[in-house]
Structure 1
Amino acid sequence: MFTGIIEAVGSITAINVNAQGARLVIDTNNLDMSDVKLGDSIATNGICLTVVDFDKSKNNGSYSADVSNETLQRTGFVNYKVGSKVNLEKAMLASTRFGGHMVSGHVDGVSEILAINNNGNSIEYWLSMPNELAHYIAEKGSVTIDGTSLTVNSLAENGSKGKFRLTIVPHTVKETIFAEYQVGSKVNIEVDLIARYLERLLTKNNDSEHATKSNISESMLAKAGFIK
């Protein structure tokens, strides 16, 4: 589990493709690797990857991780190359301050940067809203972009061509890879974890094959303020 608060910006130093997918080597830059062990999880552009090897002898440190064909197909990794910068976050501890929102590191899809506009000292980004994910994205709700926990500022829904707006403050631009984005850039998107589970509960209640006696309903959720 992660929080979506980026700890460092690293870079890909090697991509070794194989029949099972690929093995990546990530230079961690200033990420603290002192407590990293084999088998630990590090969110790499929002994708939960398992450390299979690491090198702490370098000034910056590095780790290796395997990426399955499934991950390559469902994320933006197919567009990455040696030198690409990536957001990094180690798995959260029970004692970690929860600064973002619950992030699983299981990417739901890929979104495209449609427009980038300056707004005062901040930058507004408009991103495409994949049709199959649109119902999970809500104004003032949480979304994860390349591992960064962000708030959706507004929506512009138009059938299958919906989009949503993010307002990024200077600190976030400085501490993440947002400065690397251009119109047309592809980014990993993970929708809010709670929204996914709520949908599953509601769907299960309406599925005669898996009918339950749960008291959860759309009217109850609306009354409690979870949905509008």
Structure 2
Amino acid sequence: MFTGIITDRGEIVALERAPEGGDMRVRIACNYDPASIDIGASIACDGVCLTVVARGDSPRAWFEVQASGETQDKTNLSDWAEGHVINLERALKVGDELGGHIVSGHVDGMAEIVGMRDEAESTRFTFRAPASLGRFIAPKGSVALDGTSLTVNEVVDVPGGGCDFGVNIIPHTKVVTGWGVAQIGQKVNLEIDTLARYVARLAEAEQ
């Protein structure tokens, strides 16, 4: 489990894809102490829960993860390349502060950045969610986007299904995450709020 509170900005320094949609192995440079990362530990990388398979500290701290073809198909990992900056969060420990909302690291789908505009010192991002996920997104609700816990400001239905929704990214968040280098047209990993999922399921059962 995670909270959606990003604890480091990682950088992809090596990436190897197996042919024909096989596994992908990624080395991610970070500021974590490698000695504190257990092999087999879970780290959310742009919101995707991945398992650590190796670690080291030369020439800088790093860890490696492996992603299946299925994970690549369902997330934006297929767009990853060397030099790409990603949001990192280590798994919750008992007693940790729950500062965002409960995030599983199991991505539901992808949203696309369709708008960005400055509002004072913050930036208002507009995302387009697919029809399969739009019904789970509500004003003042929570979503995890590339692993970041964010509050939805407004939701507008779009023709053909799905919705556009807006969030505000404050200056601090832009500095400590990858949102400072995000661009229009970029695909981001979307995980809907667990509570919204259960509310929708209960509503379906009552029909």
Normalising by structure 2, report the TM-score. Answer: 0.93
Structure whose CA Rg is larger: 1
In structure 2, how many angstroms separate the alpha carbons of the residues matched to 1:116 and 1:188?
17
Q: Closer, same or farther in 2 for the Cα pair 1:133/1:59, shift >3 Å?
A: same
| TM-superposition CA deviations, 1:83-110 (whole Å, max 9, x none) | 1110000001111111100000001111
In structure 2, how many angstroms separate the alpha carbons of the residues matched to 1:23 and 1:124?
34
Corresponding residue number in structure 1 for 2:113? 113
Corresponding residue number in structure 2 for 1:209? none
State whether residues 157 and 163 of structure 2, in contact with CA within 8 Å, keep that contact through their aligned partners in structure 1.
yes
| Equivalent residue runs for 1:122-137 within 5 Å | 122-137=122-137
Corresponding residue number in structure 2 for 1:188? 189
Aligned amino acid, residue 119 of structure 1: E
| TM-superposition CA deviations, 1:206-227 (whole Å, max 9, x none) | 6xxxxxxxxxxxxxxxxxxxxx
Runs of 5+ consecutive residues of structure 1 not aligned to the other structure: 207-228
Greater CA deviation, 189-198 or 130-139? Answer: 189-198
Number of residue pairs matched by the alignment: 204
Aligned amino acid, residue 8 of structure 2: A
State whether residues 31 and 60 of structure 1, in contact with CA within 8 Å, keep that contact through their aligned partners in structure 2.
no
Q: SS state of the match for residue 144, structure 2?
A: strand
State whether residues 86 and 178 of structure 2, in contact with CA within 8 Å, keep that contact through their aligned partners in structure 1.
yes
- The percent identity for this pair of structures is 39
Aligned amino acid, residue 117 of structure 1: R
Normalising by structure 1, report the TM-score. Answer: 0.85
In structure 2, how many angstroms separate the alpha carbons of the residues matched to 1:80 and 1:96?
30
Q: SS state of the match for residue 171, structure 1?
A: helix
- Structure 1 moving runs of 4+ over 6 Å: none
Aligned amino acid, residue 100 of structure 2: G
- Greater relative CO (CA pairs within 8 A, separation 6+): 2
1:43 aligns with 2:44: yes
In structure 2, how many angstroms separate the alpha carbons of the residues matched to 1:122 and 1:16?
36
Q: Closer, same or farther in 2 for the Cα pair 1:142/1:52, shift >3 Å?
A: same
In structure 2, how many angstroms separate the alpha carbons of the residues matched to 1:127 and 1:120?
20
Over the residues paired in the alignment, what is the CA RMSD in angstroms? 1.5
In structure 2, how many angstroms separate the alpha carbons of the residues matched to 1:53 and 1:3?
24
1:6 aligns with 2:6: yes
